[in-house]
Structure 1
Amino acid sequence: MKIISLQLKNHFLGWDFDEIKFSSNLTLLVGISGAGKTQILRSIIDLKRIANGKAINGLEWKIIFSTVNGTEFIWEGGFDTVETNELNFDNPEKDNQDEKEKPSFIYEKLISKNEVLFERNKEQIKFKNSQMPKLSSHQSMIILLKEESVIKEAFDALNKIEYRDHTIKGVRFRSSKQSLHSLKNKYQTLESIVNSDEDIRTKLYLTYENKLDVFETIKSRLIDVFQQIEDVKVEPFKTDELPKAIAANIFFPVISIKEKSVPKWIREDRMSSGMLRTIIHLGEIFLSNEGSVILIDEFENSLGINCIDILTDDLIHENKTLQFIATSHHPYIINNIPYEYWKIVTRQGGHIRTCNASDYHLGKSKQDAFIQLNKILEKQS
């Protein structure tokens, strides 16, 4: 999937942004803290939630996106606004909301190849111009009709949106119910690993255990950044606190590094957060499902400045089937990503505005553009 453009209004919370056009593989949302960068990422996640049946109070949107097969969709819709004092009204973790409290669709439409696939309003629902019986007014037609092949293509694409934070240390549980040993036997080729629904750590484990060349490439990229590292391994977490069969099923594989002149391996809960996040991002670049849209809030968090050059170069050039949308207000990161990938984010009241760097007529050299951008951001602050 590639998000081509998005515009959105949240009538309940009182904020909106005009159409944002995204670059095909990397968009860096640049702006001061509080400008609205994170809100843009959250709105993209909200659309995935809606495609999976959630109702979001007062949200209105129009998104244009394409699938890995090149099919372009225009999906737009809007929920009515329900007045409530509940702070967590749109909490994605809250699934037991009473039907009467849920906002209903005011309208919804999906278009592809100049054909209206479905269209609804308060009075009627049509699928390919045929009247349909009454369906849930709180759920998107995308999930209600996902068994239809053309709708399933849009549904699957929207479910390629991922927001991941792998920087929390410590052992964590796996979502897969299959043991790591069975997964190793199930996924033995790079294609099967990439196309699986396993998390990035498990994919790294599978490439490591199956001795695939891509793992050596990832390790080489990591050593280019952290030259004190001489080796990397990914193995199941070993513990005496639980039976081995249980541990193999529920725990993530653990990443460890071997540094030069250091006798013992360093497990991920003892390595620097910058090293860990770099490994994970490299894994995402080389092992994410084709068509994934990966959202990264505050790209600079836990990343050392020595990581930025190689990671941004790989983000831009290595995997053309992925799309990364990241936020940052860190000068070094902004200065090391070409300004054609910048979207400068500003906010006035509840209105979020994005502009291309070219709209500000920045200098031709990266240094001149960066100096001028700093001046723009200083005025905003």
Structure 2
Amino acid sequence: MKILSLRVKNNFLDWDFEEIKFSSNLTLLVGVSGAGKTQILRAIIDLRRIANGTAINGFEWKIIFSTVKGTEFIWEGSFDTVEKNELSFEDDEKEKQDEREKSSLTYEKLTSNNQVLIERNQEGITFDKRRMPKLSSHQSMIYILKEESVIKEAFDALNKIEYRDHTINGRRLRNSNKSLHSLKNKYKTLDSIVNSDEDIKTKLYLTYENKLDIYEKIKSRFIDIFPQIGDIKVEPFKTDNLPKAIADKFNPSISIKEKSVPKWIIEDRMSSGMLRTIIHIAEIFLANEGSVILIDEFENSLGINCIDILTEDLIHENKTLQFISTSHHPYIINNIPYEYWKIVTRQGGHISICNASDYRLGKSKQDAFIQLTKILEKQS
């Protein structure tokens, strides 16, 4: 999936942003803290939630996106506004609210190749030019009709939107309830691993255990950034406190070995920058084809030595992926060509997004960076 453009308005929370046209493989949202960069990422996540049956109070949207197969869709819609106390967008309790408290879809339309596939309005619902019976007003038609072949392509594409942070402290259970040993036997080829629904650390483990060439490429890329490292291994989580059958349900553990140092450094003792770097590299090589990966403040925990190579990889390495990231770190902004920048500003609840070219920035990257820094300082 590639998001081509997006416009969103939230009538309940009283904010909106005008249309953003995204770059094919990388868009960097640049602006001061509080400008609305994270709000844009949250809106993209909300689109996935709507596609999976969630009602979002007062939410209006229009998104144009293309699938891996090259099909282009236009999906737009709006929920009515229900005045009530609202929790944070991540609160799972909102998913369990009483049907009577949920917002209803007042409008929804899905178009592809100039053909209207779905249209819902006050007069009723049509699908493929056929009038439909009354269906849930709280759920998107994409969700309700997701098994229909013409809709499934759009539904599957929207479920490629991912917001992941694999550096959260603490040992985490994997999504799969199967043991790592069974997964090793199930996924033996690179294609099967990449196209699986396993988390990125499990995918990295599977490439390591199956001795695939891609693992050596990931390791080599990591050592380019950290030349003091001689080797990396990815193994099942080991503990004396849990039976092996239970421990095998946790995420695998990454360990590194420095040159001329005999002992391995386990994941819990690695620097957060090192861990985040290897996860980012693995993401670039092992994420599902067509994934849209959202990264809030890309620079978190990354040192200057990491940023050069990782930003280069984001731009050039995997053309099937789309990265949308926020940043206000000068080094990152200065190392990503400004044709990938979207400058984000805000007045009240209105978020504005401009191309770097709209500011007539200098031709050289250094001049553009200096001018951008001055613009952002005025806005802060």
Tell me the TM-score normalized by structure 1.
0.98
Q: Secondary structure at the match of 1:269?
A: helix
1:123 CA drift (Å):
3.0
1:345 CA drift (Å):
0.4
Aligned partner of 1:30 in structure 2 is: 30
Aligned partner of 1:315 in structure 2 is: 314
Q: Are 1:68 and 2:68 counterparts?
A: yes
Rounded to whole Å, the distance in 2 between the matches of 1:359 and 1:2 is 24
Aligned partner of 1:199 in structure 2 is: 199
* Contact 2:314–2:323 (CA under 8 A) maintained in structure 1: yes
Aligned partner of 2:342 in structure 1 is: 343
Alpha carbons of 1:342 and 1:86: their partners in 2 closer, same or farther (altered >3 Å)? closer
Q: Which runs of 5+ in 1 are unaligned?
A: none
Aligned partner of 1:367 in structure 2 is: 366
Alpha carbons of 1:308 and 1:89: their partners in 2 closer, same or farther (altered >3 Å)? closer
Alpha carbons of 1:119 and 1:39: their partners in 2 closer, same or farther (altered >3 Å)? same
Q: Secondary structure at the match of 2:96?
A: coil
Q: Deviations over 1:208-255 (max 9, x none)?
A: 00011111111111111111111000000011111111221x211001
Q: Deviations over 1:238-277 (max 9, x none)?
A: 11111111221x2110011001222211111110000000
For 1:235-246, what aligned pairs fall within 5 Å after superposition?
235-246=235-246
For 1:43-54, what aligned pairs fall within 5 Å after superposition?
43-54=43-54
Aligned partner of 2:110 in structure 1 is: 110
Rounded to whole Å, the distance in 1 between the matches of 2:52 and 2:337 is 35
Query: For residue 172 of structure 1, what is the amino acid of its counterpart?
Result: R
Q: Which runs of 4+ in 1 moved over 2 A?
A: 85-95
* Contact 1:27–1:341 (CA under 8 A) maintained in structure 2: yes
Q: Secondary structure at the match of 1:276?
A: helix
1:175 CA drift (Å):
1.2
Query: For residue 316 of structure 2, what is the amino acid of its counterpart?
Result: H
Q: Secondary structure at the match of 1:18?
A: strand
Rounded to whole Å, the distance in 2 between the matches of 1:293 and 1:322 is 6
Aligned partner of 2:153 in structure 1 is: 153
Q: Deviations over 1:36-84 (max 9, x none)?
A: 0000000000000000000000000000000000000000000000001
Rounded to whole Å, the distance in 2 between the matches of 1:326 and 1:204 is 23
Aligned partner of 2:282 in structure 1 is: 283
Aligned partner of 2:217 in structure 1 is: 217
* Contact 2:87–2:94 (CA under 8 A) maintained in structure 1: no
* Contact 1:166–1:277 (CA under 8 A) maintained in structure 2: yes
Query: For residue 346 of structure 1, what is the amino acid of its counterpart?
Result: T
Q: Secondary structure at the match of 2:138?
A: coil
Tell me the TM-score normalized by structure 2.
0.98
The Cα RMSD (Å) is 1.0
Q: Which runs of 5+ in 2 are unaligned?
A: none
Rounded to whole Å, the distance in 1 between the matches of 2:263 and 2:24 is 43
Query: For residue 65 of structure 2, what is the amino acid of its counterpart?
Result: F
Rounded to whole Å, the distance in 1 between the matches of 2:201 and 2:91 is 27
Rounded to whole Å, the distance in 2 between the matches of 1:93 and 1:112 is 34
Alpha carbons of 1:154 and 1:89: their partners in 2 closer, same or farther (altered >3 Å)? closer
* Contact 1:105–1:122 (CA under 8 A) maintained in structure 2: no
Aligned partner of 2:179 in structure 1 is: 179
Aligned partner of 2:134 in structure 1 is: 134
Q: Are 1:332 and 2:315 counterparts?
A: no
**Aligned residue pairs: how many?**
380
1:166 CA drift (Å):
1.1
* Contact 1:57–1:90 (CA under 8 A) maintained in structure 2: no
